[in-house]
């Protein structure tokens, strides 16, 4: 019961956290909110207890190793063996892989998202814990099915670390053979999906079976809490190992009906490094040479995206194609050169979208609803994301609402055409981002609609003054002394 009351407080905090107010220009207010922000941050580190009532009756785990990410989904059958109803349970991530964790989420049997929040447990400092709040309290004796999903980045190590141009890329996955759980697991099965046939080696703990592209482990009965046993798979993985080392996403809102989006992206091939020479001759011979290299990838933009540009510091990158589909714009981006292990590239991708799809208003109150990050390529992993939102000049009362914790940086000002006092810029950062983070943020602000006329009036006023000056200059004689005689003509 104590646990539940703590939860209520936590929820409250969580709500407060997600609607941190940050007035644009007032420094004192900013400092205040910053302190508030820190205070909330401190408060949000919660302490939970492991309830002995909860048991995992059955866990079906799938480890998907077919891409550069490790996606683990667990279908947990939860059982309340105690007397009182249970509102929540804990999910744990072992110490060895907690730093690679990019995303964690949970769904109930009907596919609805459950609230997941970070927590700690006394006595288990090395592991990381997440508390999943159930929709309805689980009564004593009954069971419920919950699916949790975790995504790990950089959990696959290329082995060997350097390969020649023609070789396949082999990677090694090291994980836990058993479900890492704070509770007793009565029965569990694990399915490792690698898609490829080229499995070099894997941990053999009976019972297991291997089919092409997949390995099944289990069922293993009655595994104690926090049991770890190494599971390693060494296999061929030629899927693109591309890491976006840095992305800066710039969203510029105009009230004249347009939202401009520009992304500065730095990409690196983080798979096995290229050893020895690159031969264009071999690369041209057939399409399958250089199996681990990345020639191109697809980026999906919103369906209404227009005026797309793709360039770098040296100008337009001419090797790209655009296809307009029904629900998206598909860009087939080809970097200037194929990316081998260790090779880098960087580019700028920009486009416009009409504002009516993303900007809502009533009176002077505006709400911007856009994605924190958009799709770059399938199974992407982003090391560092910076999102900047530029609002029209004169916007005040800015409130940001984000779907997951981010680090908000200090607001700044941006000057562009016909600006006088600058446009407010909201900036926030997040590291280790994957596709599951493509979610909407909400930004509320107040903008007096009369300010729309400021810029046209500025131009009109300037021209007016200019013509007036010319008129005055032409009509009046400013010469110091009169010419002595008339012009010869």
Partner 1 sequence: MPATAVAKPENGRNKGIFHNTAGFSTLITVTVLSLAWLAGFASRLFAVIRFESIIHEFDPWFNYRSTAYMVQHGFYNFLNWFDERAWYPLGRIVGGTVYPGLMITSGTIHWILHALNIPIHIRDICVFLAPVFSGLTAIATYLLTSEIWSRGAGLFAACFIAIVPGYSSRSVAGSYDNEGIAIFALQFTYYLWLKSVKSGSIFWSICTALSYFYMVSAWGGYVFIINLIPLHVFVLLVMGRFSQRLFVSYTVFYIIGLLLSMQIPFVGFQPIRTSEHMAASGVFALLMAVGALKYLHSLNPKGQWKQLLIVGGFLAAVAVFLVVVLLTYMGVIAPWSGRFYSLWDTAYAKIHIPIIASVSEHQPTTWSSFFFDLHVLVCTFPVGLWYCIKNINDERVFVALYALSAVYFAGVMVRLMLTLTPVVCVLAGIAFSILLDLVLREDEMCPPPVESEESKSLYDKAGKLKKRPHETPNGASEAGLGMNVRSGTLIAFMILLMLFSVHCTWATSNAYSSPSIVLASYGNDGSRRILDDFREAYGWLSQNTAEDARIMSWWDYGYQIAGMGNRTTLVDNNTWNNSHIALVGKAMASNESAAYSIMTALDVDYVLVIFGGAIGYSGDDINKFIWMVRIAEGEHPKDIHEADYFTERGEYRVDSEASKTMLNCLMYKLSYYRYDSGGSPPGYDRTRGALPGNRGFKLTYLEEAYTTEHWLVRIYRVKKPDEFNRPRLPVAKRTISTTNSVSKKLAIGPGTTTSKRRKGLLKNKPTVVKGKKVARLE
The residue ranges that bind partner 1 (CB under 8 A) are 276-281, 284, 312-319, 336-337, 342-346, 415-419, 488-489
Cβ proximity to partner 1, 337 vs 453, nearer residue:
337
CB of 280 to partner 1, least distance (A): 3
Query: Do residues 342 and 269 touch, judged by C-beta distance below 8 A?
Result: yes
Residue whose CB is less far from partner 1, 108 or 455:
455
Minimal distance, residue 345 CB to partner 1, in Å: 6
Which of 202/347 has CB closer to partner 1? Answer: 347
Nearer to partner 1, 259 or 339 (CB): 339
Cβ-Cβ contacts under 8 Å for 23 (sequence gap 6 or more): 29, 30, 396, 397, 398
Least CB distance from residue 247 to partner 1, whole Å? 16
110/314 with CB nearer partner 1: 314
How do 242-254 and 381-390 pair as beta strands? parallel
CB of 380 to partner 1, least distance (A): 19
Q: How many whole angstroms separate alpha carbon 78 and alpha carbon 144? A: 5
Nearer to partner 1, 80 or 352 (CB): 352
Q: Minimum Å distance from CB 468 to partner 1?
A: 19
Nearer to partner 1, 279 or 442 (CB): 279
Please report, to the nearest 10 degrees, the dihedral formed by the alpha carbons of residues 95, 170, 338, 262 taken in order.
-20
Beta carbon of residue 284, minimum distance to partner 1 (angstroms, whole number): 6
Write down the least CB distance from residue 292 to partner 1, Å: 16
Q: Provide, rounded to whole angstroms, the least separation between the CB of residue 301 and partner 1.
A: 21
Cα gap 127→56, rounded to integer Å? 19
Pick from 387, 312, 317: nearest CA to 346: 312
Nearer to partner 1, 337 or 356 (CB): 337
* Locus of tokens 């840095």: 246
Helix (H) or strand (E) holding 312: strand 306-312
Closest approach, Cβ 412 to partner 1, in A, equals: 15
Residue 69 beta carbon to partner 1: minimum distance, rounded to whole angstroms: 24
Question: CA 400, CA 368: separation in Å to the nearest integer?
Answer: 10
Q: Which is nearer to partner 1, 418 or 468 (CB)?
A: 418
Is residue 175 within 8 A of residue 228, CB to CB? The reply is no
Contact between 347 and 268 under an 8 Å Cβ cutoff? The reply is no
Q: Between residues 135 and 414, which has the closer beta carbon with respect to partner 1? A: 414
Q: 306: Cβ–Cβ under 8 A, 6 or more apart, which residues?
A: 351, 352, 353
**For residue 173, cis peptide bond before it (omega within 30 degrees of 0):** no
Query: Please, where are the H alpha helices in 208-359?
Result: 280-285
Tell me how far CA of residue 98 lies from CA of 127, 169, 196, in angstroms: 7, 25, 27
Question: What is the Cα–Cα distance from 433 to 154, expressed in whole angstroms?
Answer: 12
Rounded to the nearest angstrom, the gap between the alpha carbon of residue 255 and the centroid of all alpha carbons in its chain is: 27
DSSP code of residue 467: H
Residue 384, CA atoms < 13 Å, CB-side half-sphere: 6
């Amino acid at each position: 019961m104590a646990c539940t009351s703590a939860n209520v407080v936590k929820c409250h905090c969580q709500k407060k956290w997600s609607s941190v107010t940050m007035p644009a220009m007032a420094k004192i207010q900013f400092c205040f909110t910053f302190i508030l922000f820190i205070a909330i941050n401190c408060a949000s580190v919660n302490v939970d207890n492991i309830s002995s009532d909860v048991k995992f009756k059955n866990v079906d785990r799938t480890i998907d190793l077919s891409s550069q990410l490790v996606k683990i989904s667990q279908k947990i059958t939860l059982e309340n063996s105690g007397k009182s109803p249970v509102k929540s349970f804990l999910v744990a991530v072992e110490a060895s892989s907690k730093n690679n964790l990019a995303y964690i989420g949970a769904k109930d049997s009907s596919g609805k998202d459950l609230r997941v929040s970070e927590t700690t447990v006394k006595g288990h400092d090395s592991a990381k814990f997440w508390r999943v709040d159930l929709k309805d309290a689980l009564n004593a004796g009954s069971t419920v099915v919950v699916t949790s999903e975790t995504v790990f980045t950089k959990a696959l190590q290329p082995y060997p670390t350097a390969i020649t141009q023609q070789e396949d890329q082999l990677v090694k996955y090291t994980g836990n053979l058993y479900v890492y759980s704070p509770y007793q697991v009565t029965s569990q099965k694990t399915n490792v999906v690698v898609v490829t046939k080229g499995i070099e080696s894997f941990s053999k703990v009976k019972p297991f079976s291997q089919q092409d592209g997949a390995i099944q482990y289990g069922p293993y009965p009655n595994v104690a809490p926090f049991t770890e046993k190494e599971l390693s798979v060494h296999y061929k993985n030629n899927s693109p190992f591309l890491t976006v080392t840095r992305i800066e996403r710039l969203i510029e809102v105009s009230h004249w009906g347009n939202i401009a989006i520009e992304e500065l992206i730095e990409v690196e091939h983080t798979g096995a490094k290229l050893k020895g020479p690159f031969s264009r001759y071999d690369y041209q011979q057939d399409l399958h040479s250089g199996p681990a290299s990345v020639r191109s990838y697809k980026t999906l933009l919103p369906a209404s995206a227009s005026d797309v540009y793709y360039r770098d510091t040296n100008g337009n990158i001419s090797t790209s194609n655009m296809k307009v589909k029904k629900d998206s714009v598909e860009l087939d981006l080809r970097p200037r050169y194929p990316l081998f292990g260790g090779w880098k590239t960087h580019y700028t991708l920009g486009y416009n979208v009409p504002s009516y799809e993303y900007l809502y208003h009533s009176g002077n109150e505006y709400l911007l609803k856009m994605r924190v990050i958009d799709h770059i390529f399938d199974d992407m992993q982003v090391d560092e994301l910076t999102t900047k939102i530029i609002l029209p000049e004169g916007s005040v009362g800015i409130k940001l609402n984000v779907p997951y914790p981010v680090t908000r940086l200090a607001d700044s000002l941006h000057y562009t055409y016909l600006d006088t006092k600058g446009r407010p810029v909201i900036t926030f950062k997040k590291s280790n981002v994957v596709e599951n983070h493509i979610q909407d943020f909400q930004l509320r602000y107040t903008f007096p609609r009369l300010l729309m006329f400021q810029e046209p009036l500025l131009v009109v006023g300037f021209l007016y003054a200019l013509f007036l000056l010319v008129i005055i200059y032409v009509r009046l004689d400013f010469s110091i002394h009169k010419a002595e005689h008339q012009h010869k003509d």
